Amino acid sequence: MFEMVEVSPIRSEAEYEAALAEVEKLMSARPGTQEGERLDVLVTLIEAYEARHHKIEAPDPIALIEFAMEQQGLDRTALEPMIGRRGRVSEILSRRRPLTLAMIRRLQSDLRLPVDVLVRPYRLNSVKRKRSQRSVGANRRGGQAAAG
């Protein structure tokens, strides 16, 4: 039978740092020993403190794809089977077009990316059309609006 492991909740950043240092010392503790039990309790307390004070937001889908590409040594052409032709890959990575459900499924399957991140909303960059493209209809009508 073990003695009760004496610990208390982590309430400050200093206590958090001290707990991390102690966990580092106890990392080689064997399960089932008093040190192993203390390690388990400290890890649980650290996780609870981090959940309240050190929240890490999940990346947006495009940042996740770019990170996966970097980690796996992939270039944009590697995304073509999952996203589409080169132009479509460019539109997705430059945030001009959103991911589709089919793209998300292929990215999850092929790159093993978490679906819960891929489906998150993210900011799209608006595409500004050139003036010459906007006025094409007016030019066809001799510069005048069509009579109605």
Indicate whether 45 pLDDT > 50. Answer: yes
Terminal alpha carbon distance of the chain: 93
- What is the band of 139 on the pLDDT scale with cuts at 50, 70, 90? very low
Q: Looking at beta carbons, which pairs linking 3-11 to residues 24 or more positions away fall under 8 Å?
A: 3/34, 5/34, 5/37, 5/38, 5/41, 7/38, 7/41, 7/42, 7/45, 9/45, 9/48, 10/45, 10/46, 10/48, 10/49
pLDDT for residue 42: 94
Question: Where is pLDDT greater, at 79 or 144?
Answer: 79
- The pTM (predicted TM-score) of the whole model is 0.53
Average pLDDT estimate for 85-108: 97
Give me the pLDDT at residue 131, please. 55
Model confidence at 129, pLDDT cuts 50, 70, 90, reads low
Which amino acid, 28? S
| Mean local confidence (pLDDT), 12-18 | 94
